[in-house]
Amino acid sequence: MSMRVGIGWDSHAFKPGVPLRIGGLSINHPEGLAGHSDGDVLLHAITDALLGAVSAGDIGSFFPPNDPRWKDADSSIFLNLAIEEIQNAGYHIVNVDTTLVLSAPKIAPIANEMRERIADMLDVEPDAVGIKAKTPEGLNLDHVVQAHVVVLLEKSDPGGDLKTLAAEIDDPAAVEQVVKSLVGDVGLSTERRKIIPSFDTEDIT
């Protein structure tokens, strides 16, 4: 399967006396978000979306909320593990689209900064990250923040670098020389290895 989609969702209630962090940013606000870690609702949702896309479970599978090791932990730790999981599965991120549902603070003034921060953490271009915010009109959720996330992954091509190199160099002999040097660096031979059977084929009856 060359493409995969993951969906993530999380919610946290506001809590006085703790700093507010959303999308990897510290935000000036009278209240933060309650949680065992730093309560970064957006990074939690992105983490779940990435893990779900490669069928690797969810954030609680790796970081149980009753584990004291993750008390007040930076949520970028969770995100980094999810990135490792998708890389181990042979995928890379194409784009991420997110929606925050909250009454305050306003996200629009910091949306670009948040986009760049998340893009940096995911190692993608900023235009591959969507940041949107909606108010919870009529839902009686003024003291809660919700995050909805969709991610698109694509199967990584292990030979992509060599194909790009071949396409960019006009001289076929030069391409062959570079490929041979790269193969030689990892101690492999460009010749097909002869397979020797472990039994005498003449004895087969």
- The neighbour count for residue 143, using CB atoms within 10 Å, is 13
Please measure the distance between the N-terminal and C-terminal CA atoms of the chain and give it in whole angstroms.
42
Q: Which residues contact 170 (CB under 8 A, 6 or more apart)?
A: none
Counted domains in the chain = 2
Q: Are 38 and 73 in contact (CB under 8 A)?
A: yes
- Pair (104, 41) in one structural domain: yes
Task: Read off the pLDDT of residues 38-82 as tens digits, 9 standing for 90 and up.
Answer: 999 999 999 999 999 999 999 988 988 888 888 878 999 999 999
For residue 204, being part of any structural domain is answered with no
- Pair (49, 70) in one structural domain: yes
The model carries a pTM of: 0.76
Residue with tokens 């193969």: 183
For residue 92, being part of any structural domain is answered with yes
- Pair (43, 61) in one structural domain: yes
- Pair (137, 69) in one structural domain: yes
Cβ-defined contacts of 29-34 (< 8 Å, 24+): 29/104, 29/105, 33/145
Instruction: Give the CATH number of the domain where residue 129 resides.
Output: 3.30.1330.50
Burial of 98 (0-12, 13-18, 19+ CB in 10 A): buried
- Pair (103, 114) in one structural domain: yes
For residue 205, being part of any structural domain is answered with no
- Pair (67, 135) in one structural domain: yes
pLDDT tens, position by position, for the chain (205 residues)? 699 999 999 999 999 999 999 999 999 999 999 988 999 999 999 999 999 999 999 998 898 888 888 887 899 999 999 999 999 999 999 999 999 999 999 999 999 999 999 999 999 999 999 999 999 988 888 899 999 999 999 999 876 555 544 545 556 666 566 556 545 544 444 443 443 444 444 443 3
Give me the domain span that covers residue 47.
Answer: 3-155
Strand partners, 8: 149
